[in-house]
Amino acid sequence: MAGKKLGIAVIGLGGAVGTTMVAGIELLKKNKISKTGLPLADVKADLIDYEEIVFSGWDLFGADLAQAAKTHGVLSYEQLAEVEDFLKILKPLPAIADSNFLEIEGDNIIKANSHTEKIAQIRSDLRSFKKNCDSVVVINLASTEKLIDENKEIFKSLEKFERAIEENSEEISPAMLYAYASIAEKIPYANFTPSVAVEIPALIEFAEKNSVPIAGKDGKTGQTFIKTVLAPALRARNLKVVGWYSTNILGNRDGFVLSNENSLASKIKTKSSVLNDILGYEVEDHIVDIRYYRPRGDNKEAWDSVDFLGFLEQQMQIKINFLCKDSILAAPLAIEIARCLELAQRSGEKGIQEQLSVFFKSPMSKGNPEHAFHRQEQMLMAWLEKHQANTNFGQIKLMFD
């Protein structure tokens, strides 16, 4: 799918993942890196080319992306040198701040007196961006907000939610306002964070009504990725998991926010049901720890210790030590999600895009979510195969191939 420009509007553009996305696409355009790490690079489907992607977005910090990239330390010295001039030009738009949900104090904040005004600003930003693109997708990469009670009445229907917006309800988070604004603009929205955003019934209803594809939540990058790969195999061998201890240490801004207990709760919540669901029974000793630990910077480290029983009920152990780079794993997933949402919209699909489950720790779904990695993968592949030829663009492309 060449020649159609896809704009990705990133909430948290100046963060480690956001800047890595932007730098990565630029390095690809300059032919400085291969497509390694981009899961759908070799897939024959009618997705927009990576080289056609452009970026915009918001951030609580106004620093240009070159400055941001230096802070994050994800790019190698050579990679940074290659794209520094390009990144310098990109400055995040002012973002929605709300200290009830996030304690980070930024300097690049939308001045607005009400939820309605904030939404209006985001919609206006999106309309401007859209002028330069064939299509736009919004993706939330902002720091994790504090855990809220998703079962509040105001989240249960679009009507109630819109009333609560008008009343400036303190229960409505920035993540929700962005999601509302995107859907209002008929722009697909993906929640890559553990924050509660587009997952509330009110916004799902809105997405259906406005025919907008949505997806979420919480990108499946490191430990949970491995967990959803290994657990189905243990089940296939009928090995009984009696305990699974998972600990994570990470030192980036994301980690710092998680050192706040309420944000941590959001994060851990999206990690925890996965295992029982895959195994089909409750693992009573399933512990997930996450610790802010600066020496590692953006290099996250996970350690899992799994205890399970085999034949004759004898105990065995698997330990997995994953030395990963958070943004290096997350950025390509966010890019693929955006490409898939664009394809979904172009194909007339709307509401929850369950086939994107493979990219999320806590996938949105109409029924029970699928957590097993290989079945999620197959779901996506089937969807992509279906879209090889049955869109208009696809047909044209095939004719000239």
Using CB under 8 A as the binding rule, whether residue 323 contacts its own copies is answered as: yes
Cβ proximity to its own copies: between 98 and 377 the closer is: 377
* Among 54, 104, 318, 379, interactor with its own copies by CB under 8 A: 318
User: Of residues 29, 62, 73, 303, which one binds its own copies by CB under 8 A?
Assistant: 303
Determine phi and psi for 399, rounding to 5 degrees: -60, -40
Q: Does 358 bind its own copies (CB under 8 A)?
A: yes
Span from 97-105, 128-136, 182-190, 295-303 in contact with its own copies (CB under 8 A): 295-303
Identify the residue among 159, 163, 310, 398 touching its own copies (CB under 8 A): 310
Minimum CB–partner distance for residue 59 and its own copies (Å) = 21
Phi, then psi, of 316 in degrees rounded to 5: -130, 170
Helix, strand, coil distribution of the chain in percent, nearest 5: 45, 20, 35
Start-to-end Cα distance in the chain: 11
Contact indicator for 203, 191 with CB cutoff of 8 Å = no
- Which residue do the tokens 């806590």 mark? 362
Cβ proximity to its own copies, 350 vs 371, nearer residue: 371
Q: Which is nearer to its own copies, 35 or 209 (CB)?
A: 35
Q: How far is CA 314 from the centre of its chain?
A: 40
Longest Cα separation, the chain: 66
Q: Is 218 left (phi over 0), alpha (psi -120 to 50) or beta?
A: left
> Which CB sits closer to its own copies, 247 or 273?
247
Q: Least CB distance from residue 31 to its own copies, whole Å? A: 13
Strand, coil or helix: what is 191? strand
- Report the residue number, 126 or 250, with the smaller CB distance to its own copies: 250
Nearest to 174 by CA among 259, 94, 265: 94
Helix pair 326-346, 16-29: axis angle to 10 deg: 70
Contact call for residue 296 and its own copies (CB under 8 A): yes
User: Given CA atoms 35, 39, 43, 45 in this order, what sign does their dihedral have?
Assistant: negative
Compute how many residues bind its own copies; rule: CB under 8 A. Answer: 74
Residues 25-44 interacting with its own copies (rule: CB under 8 A): 27, 33-42
Applying CB under 8 A, among 72, 325, 350, 371 the residue interacting with its own copies is 325
CB closer to its own copies, 211 vs 259: 259
Q: Which residues pair with 249 in a beta bridge?
A: 291, 301
Instruction: Report whether the peptide linkage leading into residue 217 is cis, meaning its omega lies within 30 degrees of zero.
Output: yes
**Quick one: which of 147, 216, 215 has its CA closest to 351?**
215
Residue from 70, 186, 291, 397 that binds its own copies (CB under 8 A)?
291
Quickly list H helices, 282-372: 326-346
Q: Using CB under 8 A, which of 132, 153, 168, 287 touches its own copies?
A: 287
Residues 369-398 that bind its own copies (CB under 8 A): 373-374, 377
Rounded to a whole number of angstroms, the minimum distance from the CB of residue 310 to its own copies is: 4
For position 272 contacting its own copies by CB under 8 A, the verdict is no
Pick out residues in 197-256 that bind its own copies (CB under 8 A).
225-226, 229-230, 232-233, 236-240, 242-243, 245, 247, 249
Closest separation between CB of residue 376 and its own copies, Å?
9
Choice from 307, 388, 393, 397 touching its own copies (CB under 8 A): 307
x/- string (CB under 8 A) for its own copies, residues 49-78? -------------------------xxxxx
Please state, in angstroms and rounded to a whole number, the distance separating the CA atoms of residues 176 and 138. 12
Under rule CB under 8 A, which residues in 116-155 are in contact with its own copies? none
Instruction: Give the CA count within 13 Å in the CB-facing half-sphere of 197.
Output: 32
